[in-house]
Amino acid sequence: MVDPAPIVVENLTMAFGSFVLQRDLTFTVARGDIFIIMGGSGCGKSTLLRHLIGLKSPAAGKVYYSGESLWDSPIEQQRQILQGTGVLFQRGALWSSMTLSENIALPLREYTDLSAAEIRDIAALKLALVGLAGFEDYYPSEISGGMQKRAGLARAMALDPEILFFDEPSAGLDPISSRLLDDLILELRDSLGATIVVVTHELASIFAIGNNSVFLDAESKTMIASGNPKLLLAETKNPTVKQFLTRGASAALAT
């Protein structure tokens, strides 16, 4: 029997009250994918992520983790399913009353039997991986927005989860750090075998790391393209997608 895919989304409809944000989203994230969720600002990418990580229940449709329907499971089981995931929130969402090191230590303390010294070493390692070595004892309010983003990334990786969700990891980073981050994401996939779902606008990283994607459109309120971003760029006939993937250049040429 083949392993069921880590994440399958079926006919997902997202709504705030009676306001429908996106409808009929169907896609599969395969093991080892770096899956890109893209689309214009405000089209519902972060909201889609909140549906995937169990924070907002769908108006209709299903989310399956390895064949198990997330939203039909009792809360205990949902927790179990989501224990294998790590999340970087769009605005970091670090615990502001703890230092960076304690932020990373918390999941480790919850789910492992490591000693305090070992946990501290792991936290230092994770911070070093995102370029924040030496910032262990800083509080989130004492570092810049881009640094908070990276610290959030370190926290998401704390337990070496099988599935990682990143909401705009490179927003607010300089080009070099952003490039290093892409390398780190590829490395996480290759060396740890993680499956990674990334929300991003950054074209350079979409093409550098993505091997599958969905494109959400705000106007038609559904996904209008999916697949490998490089192939999408070459083959898509849809003007909105084309325009997005070429930074609007194709539209400028057309007029």
Phi, psi of 18 (to 5 degrees): -95, 0
Segment lying near Mg ion (by CB under 5 A), choices 89-97, 142-150, 170-178, 227-235 = 89-97
Residues 34-63 that bind ligand ATP (CB under 6 A): 41-47
Residue 52 and residue 228 in contact, taking contact as beta carbons nearer than 8 Å:
no
Q: Which is nearer to Mg ion, 22 or 99 (CB)?
A: 22
Question: Using CB distances below 5 to 8 A depending on partner kind, what does residue 105 bind out of ligand ATP, other proteins, Mg ion, none?
Answer: none
User: In 158-202, where does DSSP find H-type helix?
Assistant: 175-192
Distance, in Å, from the CA atom of 157 to the CA atom of 136, rounded to the nearest integer, reads 16
Q: Is 110 in the site for other proteins (CB under 8 A)?
A: yes
Near other proteins by CB under 8 A: residue from 9, 12, 63, 82: 82
CB of 156 to other proteins, least distance (A): 9
Question: 3-class DSSP state for residue 233?
Answer: helix
Q: Is 169 in the site for ligand ATP (CB under 6 A)?
A: no
Q: Is 113 in the site for other proteins (CB under 8 A)?
A: no
Neighbour-count burial of 137, counting CB atoms closer than 10 A to its CB (0-12 exposed, 13-18 middle, 19+ buried):
exposed
Tokens of 124: 């230092």
Phi, psi of 24 (to 5 degrees): 55, 50
Question: Using CB distances below 5 to 8 A depending on partner kind, what does residue 179 bind out of Mg ion, other proteins, ligand ATP, none?
Answer: none
Site of interaction with Mg ion (CB under 5 A) = 46, 90
